[in-house]
Chains A and B, each alone.
Chain A
Amino acid sequence: MGYIDAIWMGIKYLFVPRATLKYPEVSMDLCCDYRGMLKWYDDRCISCTMCARICPSGAIKMYKSDTKKYPGINYQRCIFCGFCRDICPVNALEFRPVHDKAYYSLEGQMQKPMEFVKGPPVEEEPKKVKPVFDEKRGLKYDSA
């Protein structure tokens, strides 16, 4: 009967290894040009304000300090398009492969230049794995 077949199939599947990634400890390896959160190098910045002018959602704002203006970012508005990195003449903005950091308050996402220079907060690096296509199981993960 079909019932016995179903029960036998369930028992067979008990011995197949699991297919999920244990996410925060293990995460997928991202390709080299991944547009994640930004890191700003204050020693290279020349205060040209091009990044704030081209940002389509108004996420970068310039903050005045003594003589120069420095950019701060608002991650509530950032759409990770990469225009600011493309237009910066001195390559002072860089993308890091970090996309999944969360903040406890909305105000924590509006960062002034002092915090912007530190880059995205990363406590520990998760172990990276790469997805590999496999005929029998579909997708397997190998360490990168």
Chain B
Amino acid sequence: MDATATAVKIILIIWHFIISPEFFIPIIFPGLITVLVVLLGLIWFERKLTAKVQLRYGPYYIAKRLGGATQLMADLMRYLQQEFIIPKDADRRVFVIAPIMFFALTMLPIVAIPISSTYAAVHSDLTLLLVPTLATLAPLLVIIIGWSSNNKYSFIGSLREGYMMMSYEVPMFISILAMAVSYNSLSLIQAVQKQTGFAWGLVINPLAAIAFFGALLMTSSRFPFDISEAESEIVVGPYTEYGGIFFIFCLGAPYVKLYVYSLFFSLVFLGGWNPLVTPLTASPIINAVLSGIVLLIKAGIVMSLAVYMRTIFGRFRIDQVLRLGWHKLFAVAVLSVILSLVLVGLGVL
């Protein structure tokens, strides 16, 4: 009986550790395990949606009854068995470490995302600024990947990614500044609590939403801004020399960035964890679970919209992208700050 009592105690200790937000958010939900599951589902959904608009079937033969859903597991198995070749003149250590760091750093901002008003891993007043700041670390590694490959096509591809990075970071942070002015705080939990009823961030300040959505498409290399990833001009861009599992890291990392940014978008602009009718007054545990599910559904809607852009747009040239970023998105972002200041000054917010 003593043994069972200590066993129960140990199990309870492990259970409390797993449920605690400092472990649960980065590892289980919306952290590592959810990222991998969402990655599989998102790429499958993109291929099926693109195929339906182009009047064909997408992945079909692998699991016919599931609609080809496990196609990506088959791709993963194939890439795991490939030989990983390091070119002779490449910088060996950086060549191997850079994609791993790229994939890991894109998952880093999830640490600061709160799931419900009481369940967050980082209790800070600055999470609205912390999430995009941590997400800015990742594109630097694309430049390192391109430089360490010792291949002129990789280098050109990574420089293009560098140009794009300059042109979307600035409108993104200015639109976040606009939202911070209208919510009067830099904390994500307070930002969501201010969006009650129908007053979502999208309705309060649609210009900031447009600027942020444009920056979201550019950072995650979705069409029409697909420039660094899959080009017919520069073989695969910065990821040319990679094979095997590193190729999966390099091509999966933009999808992870899309997931993180769409979680952030749904927290700041789409009302976070408030559904339109608010029944979230149940016990705290069910409250947290329901909030998490609502947040994931909203992030899924944003991701589907971003992925749908692939079916209809052709790819922009790099100078058209820079012109779009600096002329149009920058102007829209600055106008959104002025709009927020006007609304706050008039006393509406």
Docked complex Cα distance between A6 and B314 (Å):
11
Cβ of A22: which chain B residues have Cβ within 8 Å of it? Answer: 57, 60
Docked complex Cα distance between A19 and B55 (Å):
6
Task: Tell me the B residues contacting A by CB distance below 8 Å.
Answer: 52-57, 60, 308, 311-313
A25 nearest CB across to chain B (Å): 10
Docked complex Cα distance between A18 and B53 (Å):
9
Docked complex Cα distance between A44 and B62 (Å):
45
Q: Chain A interface secondary structure, helix, strand, loop or mixed? A: loop
Cβ of B60: which chain A residues have Cβ within 8 Å of it? Answer: 22
A131 nearest CB across to chain B (Å): 16
Docked complex Cα distance between A6 and B311 (Å):
9
Cβ of B312: which chain A residues have Cβ within 8 Å of it? Answer: 6-7, 9-10
B48 nearest CB across to chain A (Å): 11
Task: Work out how many contacts link A and B, with CB atoms closer than 8 A.
Answer: 28
B308 & A10 in contact (Cβ 8 Å cutoff): yes
8 Å CB contact of B313 from A6, A13, A19, A20: A6
Interface residues of A in 1-53 (CB under 8 A from B): 6-7, 9-10, 13-14, 16-20, 22
8 more A-B contacts (CB under 8 A) besides A6-B312, A13-B311? A6-B313, A7-B312, A10-B53, A13-B55, A14-B53, A18-B56, A18-B57, A19-B56
B215 nearest CB across to chain A (Å): 16
Cβ of A14: which chain B residues have Cβ within 8 Å of it? Answer: 52-53
Cβ of B53: which chain A residues have Cβ within 8 Å of it? Answer: 10, 13-14
A20 & B52 in contact (Cβ 8 Å cutoff): no
24 A-B pairs in the complex with CB atoms less than 8 angstroms apart? A6-B312, A6-B313, A7-B308, A7-B312, A9-B312, A10-B308, A10-B311, A10-B312, A13-B53, A13-B55, A13-B311, A14-B52, A14-B53, A16-B55, A17-B55, A18-B52, A18-B55, A18-B56, A19-B55, A20-B55, A20-B56, A20-B57, A22-B57, A22-B60
